[in-house]
Structure 1
Amino acid sequence: MSDKAAPPDERADEGADARVDLPLLRIAFILVLGTFMATVDATIVSVGIDTLSQDFGASVTEIQWVSTAYLLAVVTAVPASGWLADRFGGRRTWLVAVGVFLLGSLLCALAWSATSLIVFRVLQGLGGGLLPATGQALLARIAGRERTGRVISVVSVVPLLSPVLGPLVGGAILGAAPWPWLFLVNLPIGAAAILLARRYVPAVPSAPQRTPFDRRGAALLSPGLAVLVFGLTEVSHGRPLPAAVGIAGGLGMLAAFTVHGLRTRHTPLVDPRLFARPPFGAAALALLVLGASVFGTMFLLPLYLQTGRGLSAWESGLLLAPQGLGAAAGSVLVNRTIDKVAPRTLVVTGIALIFVGTVPFTQLGHQLPDLAIAVALAVRGIGMAMIGAPVMNIVYSRIAPAEIPRAAGALNLLNTVGGSLGTAALAVVLQNRLAARGPDISGPDISAAFADTFWWVLVFCLLAAAGATRLPRTHVRTP
């Protein structure tokens, strides 16, 4: 199938048909397989760190790079997703990204040392970084403006499930098979995705005017993001000097990219002006803070359950599962209301639910019952589902179809960086609260330190709410 087919989004708009039919749901399911693999793989390895450390004879600090290298590769690849889709077509870019991800997965399973595994994780992350943004942009163009909100509300639940499913799936695999299956499990899923996509996913044409690749921007933005995320991860590992160098260097390169993006006569890799265009700026802030809240909380809670309560990775995963169930229920609710309720109302309500669901965690020092944790997580899950899909619908339905790939890349990039930023910030707060209670800290003191840290998650919610007040009240669409 050629990438020169008629634009699906234009055909959808001509009919002004907002129904999400079976063929579109099938396309959404196929494309979400790529997002599922990429997002789950970001966390699936976390439960296998000890196993990998023992098998390769490496320290935990060295083997931690298995996770860090994947994250750095992801943030390096995301900025280029828009240009690649414009240049080669969204469907072709998505298929190649799945292929690169599968090749990286296979090589990871065959790794013979910690170093080789880290290198292959970089390759895997380069493919995985392209999948969510390219898949979202492709789906938005196929669905058209009238159906984007409903279909995005269905597929956006997958990134919300990944922080829960990753450790749970990883623990289940390691309970029944050796560590290479953490990566081999991707092969049948990816192979099915490629076969189904070649048959059922229609081609979306590449951009009519091919813009040159922004080499200077790529030399500043992708490495700058990688260096910044590296600095943030070093903060969470308690290494101040490399953290300071990484954060300062990353911010400097990002500042230089912003100047370049504003001055260049060509199309930049990510246009800084996009963030000043309403409602993109407010939407970007909401997704940035959502990423900080989701991934930050999913960093804190498993750590608390395993260190503060002595649960295994599998038991922790089961206790975290209600958040996934809440997200699934929330996506159903959003699917039925996204075209009827104002975007601002949905997003502010979602933030409020996350706030309410986080409050109980500020009381962990009082031995919060498991049932209370499960209910709070379910409420948070519903709230998270009410933010992502409406925000993406706001953006995708108000920009020209040709701009969707680059906008999708920018939104996914902010969500990823927000997750890194939130995790690093909460790790620093947690370390300070633990240190404040002395070297001989006991179980109740550990719980109290985690409770103190969750107050900062509430601060994230307030910041997101401030940005959400700038979102549109009505469903004004671009003619």
Structure 2
Amino acid sequence: MSLKPLSLRTLAIVMIPGILAVLFDTTIVAIALRTLARELSSPLSTIQWVTTGYLLALGMVIPITGWLLRRVGGKRAWMLAMTLFLLGSIGSAFAWSAASLIGFRVLQGAGGGLMLPVMQTLAVQAVGERGLGKATATIALPAVLGPVLGPVLGGLIVDSISWRWIFWVNVPLCLFSLVMAWRMLPDDRRDEESAHLDLVGLALVSPGIAALLYGLSEVGTHEGFGHPSVVVPIVVGVVLVAAFAVRALRSRTEPLVDLRLFRHSTFTASTVLLFFSGFVLYGAMLVMPLYFQQVRGHDALAAGLLLAPQGLGSLLSRSVAGVLSDKYGPRWFVFGGLVIVALSTVPFALADAGTSEWLLAGALVVRGFGLGGVVIPLIAGAYQGLDRADAPHASILTRTAQQIGGAFGGAVLAVVLARTSAASGPVSAFETTFWWTIAFTAVAVLIAVFLPTRPREAEAPVAGSEPVAVAVGGDLPEKPEGH
């Protein structure tokens, strides 16, 4: 049967609304935790699991993406993920207790964790290798808008309407994405009923990732890495992931996640830098709203609005970074973007309560511009030189690196902020914390020199030189009619 070509425009129409729902939800709920604790008559320590449970579920399901794509195809995988997220959203809106809300949030997280790598895989398989930057710029749009608009939307909902609308706002986005997927995505299911699911690998890596994320999430609560609630899950997570790595590298069959991709120096450098980008982006996004609230005296909504210029900067660089990295390779764009991010964070490290907010807004625009020049070429660079069948594995590894990098960054900066604040006050604490962010960005700058300067000359694209309807098993689909 001939397959209809799958274009980036189609993917954008179908998937960006769904991904926006996931990223909005991640940031919106964080603002509403105190309201949820009050409305559901539950301690804040319990309500924190509304966020923690969601993030753990999101991280745990990422490793099965490759198997799911082989088993049911891209269209069904996306619709399954979208349905899980939709049901979790509706359930959360109707939640009658803290326990029920946490349960529905776990269901949401399972859907969201599948959506992100599925979209990434389908996008890079729909373009030739020289179009990876353009593909990445398309799929990065929700990641740019989510952290910026989420806090603003969350503040408006919490202040003006019921907390239940935090979850109802997802429903039209999910329904739209489901209908468009049903109408526009090709039926790409391949006869892979026997697609092998590595159950032993799954039993090692998914709990391992969850344990790591949980341990890192507890760092801020206990103000350090030495508490048993932090040490034990992190050690367990490292042991499980290490055991999975040994097994995967020795496996003669296709493992759940193919770690042999780390033999490619470009993929390794890109993935390590994506870990640091998670630190630089998500760690700093934890600190900056607190800075505007605790040092500048703004409420949560105003803090969200004050962070909007960073999103504007990212939007400005998004398309340029994608097109130019396709043409010239990722090294100097990532290198330059990281330098820009480091320099534009310096005003925050030097600021005090009297520093002009116009100056800080300008710094945020520049910082966002630099971030756009980092993340997009990095994700595109991670797929350079890989075969089509490697794309799902690359998506799993890059998403996991960003997820753990963000959790690690948030944990380290939370400890630095808490300990410095106790010793020298909030203004000095934020200055020190921003210097830590700059230091980690500087480490990433050094790693960036290992990225390639130019794309490969050979036309051996991840998805073939034609737009294709994502067949993930490794064999090329039939050419579309008329070719």
With the length of structure 2 as denominator, give the TM-score of the two structures: 0.90
CA contact (8 A) 2:65 2:114 kept: yes
1:18-37 map, 5 Å: 24-37=8-21
Match in the other structure for 1:348: 335
Q: Residue 209 of structure 2: which of 199, 217, 225 is its match?
A: 225
Match in the other structure for 1:322: 309
1:209 to partner: Cα distance? 9.5
1:280-291 map, 5 Å: 280-291=267-278
Match in the other structure for 1:13: none
Match in the other structure for 2:472: none
Does residue 243 in structure 1 map to residue 230 in structure 2? yes
Give me the whole-angstrom Cα distance separating, in 1, the residues matched to 2:455 and 2:353: 45
Does residue 389 in structure 1 map to residue 369 in structure 2? no
Match in the other structure for 1:200: 184
CA contact (8 A) 1:160 1:384 kept: no
1:286 to partner: Cα distance? 1.1
Residues 226 and 478 (structure 1 numbering): CA distance in 2 closer, same or farther, change over 3 Å? farther
CA contact (8 A) 1:82 1:407 kept: no
CA contact (8 A) 1:83 1:406 kept: no
1:335 to partner: Cα distance? 3.7
Q: Residue 450 of structure 2: which of 470, 474, 478 is its match?
A: 470
Q: Deviations over 1:360-418 (max 9, x none)?
A: 11113363321122111111111111122212222334211122122112111111111
1:112 to partner: Cα distance? 0.5
CA contact (8 A) 1:153 1:389 kept: yes
Does residue 454 in structure 1 map to residue 434 in structure 2? yes
1:478 to partner: Cα distance? 5.5
The one-letter code sitting in structure 1 at the alignment partner of 2:181 is A
Structure 1 residue matching 2:265: 3-state secondary structure: coil
Q: Residue 312 of structure 1: which of 299, 304, 310 is its match?
A: 299
Give me the whole-angstrom Cα distance separating, in 2, the residues matched to 1:184 and 1:394: 37
Residues 407 and 336 (structure 1 numbering): CA distance in 2 closer, same or farther, change over 3 Å? closer
Match in the other structure for 2:199: 215
Give me the whole-angstrom Cα distance separating, in 1, the residues matched to 2:366 and 2:265: 30
Give me the whole-angstrom Cα distance separating, in 2, the residues matched to 1:124 and 1:43: 14
Does residue 48 in structure 1 map to residue 29 in structure 2? no
Match in the other structure for 2:366: 379
Match in the other structure for 1:127: 111
Residues 144 and 90 (structure 1 numbering): CA distance in 2 closer, same or farther, change over 3 Å? farther
1:81 to partner: Cα distance? 1.1
1:210 to partner: Cα distance? 5.3
Q: Residue 408 of structure 1: which of 386, 395, 407 is its match?
A: 395
Greater shift, 227-236 or 270-279, is seen at 270-279
Q: Residue 58 of structure 1: which of 39, 42, 45 is its match?
A: 42
1:159 to partner: Cα distance? 1.2
Residues 6 and 146 (structure 1 numbering): CA distance in 2 closer, same or farther, change over 3 Å? farther
The one-letter code sitting in structure 1 at the alignment partner of 2:442 is L
The one-letter code sitting in structure 1 at the alignment partner of 2:448 is A
Give me the whole-angstrom Cα distance separating, in 2, the residues matched to 1:64 and 1:364: 31
1:268-287 map, 5 Å: 268-287=255-274
Instruction: List runs of 5+ in structure 2 lacking aligned partners.
Output: 461-483
1:124 to partner: Cα distance? 0.4
1:205 to partner: Cα distance? 5.2
With the length of structure 1 as denominator, give the TM-score of the two structures: 0.91
Q: Deviations over 1:149-172 (max 9, x none)?
A: 213213313213322222111111
Match in the other structure for 1:441: none
Give me the whole-angstrom Cα distance separating, in 1, the residues matched to 2:194 and 2:387: 16
Does residue 300 in structure 1 map to residue 284 in structure 2? no
Give me the whole-angstrom Cα distance separating, in 2, the residues matched to 1:179 and 1:88: 36
The one-letter code sitting in structure 2 at the alignment partner of 1:422 is G
Q: Residue 245 of structure 2: which of 258, 266, 279 is its match?
A: 258
Greater shift, 170-179 or 297-306, is seen at 170-179
The one-letter code sitting in structure 1 at the alignment partner of 2:233 is G
Match in the other structure for 1:431: 418
Residues 307 and 263 (structure 1 numbering): CA distance in 2 closer, same or farther, change over 3 Å? same
Give me the whole-angstrom Cα distance separating, in 2, the residues matched to 1:80 and 1:166: 28
CA contact (8 A) 1:141 1:204 kept: no
User: How many percent identity over aligned positions?
Assistant: 38
CA contact (8 A) 2:249 2:260 kept: yes
Does residue 165 in structure 1 map to residue 149 in structure 2? yes
Give me the whole-angstrom Cα distance separating, in 1, the residues matched to 2:262 and 2:450: 13
Give me the whole-angstrom Cα distance separating, in 2, the residues matched to 1:145 and 1:113: 49
CA contact (8 A) 2:129 2:459 kept: no
Give me the whole-angstrom Cα distance separating, in 1, the residues matched to 2:200 and 2:2: 32
CA contact (8 A) 2:413 2:433 kept: yes
Q: Deviations over 1:336-362 (max 9, x none)?
A: 423333310111111111111111111
Residues 448 and 82 (structure 1 numbering): CA distance in 2 closer, same or farther, change over 3 Å? same
Give me the whole-angstrom Cα distance separating, in 1, the residues matched to 2:396 and 2:4: 20
Give me the whole-angstrom Cα distance separating, in 1, the residues matched to 2:194 and 2:266: 27
1:236 to partner: Cα distance? 1.3
Match in the other structure for 2:93: 109
CA contact (8 A) 1:153 1:335 kept: yes
1:79 to partner: Cα distance? 1.2
Structure 1 residue matching 2:326: 3-state secondary structure: coil
Match in the other structure for 1:156: 140
CA contact (8 A) 1:25 1:151 kept: no
* Higher RCO (CA 8 Å, separation ≥ 6 residues): 2
Match in the other structure for 2:65: 81
Instruction: List runs of 5+ in structure 1 lacking aligned partners.
Output: 10-22, 438-444
CA contact (8 A) 2:86 2:174 kept: yes
Structure 1 residue matching 2:298: 3-state secondary structure: coil
Give me the whole-angstrom Cα distance separating, in 1, the residues matched to 2:334 and 2:191: 32
Residues 51 and 223 (structure 1 numbering): CA distance in 2 closer, same or farther, change over 3 Å? same
The one-letter code sitting in structure 2 at the alignment partner of 1:383 is G
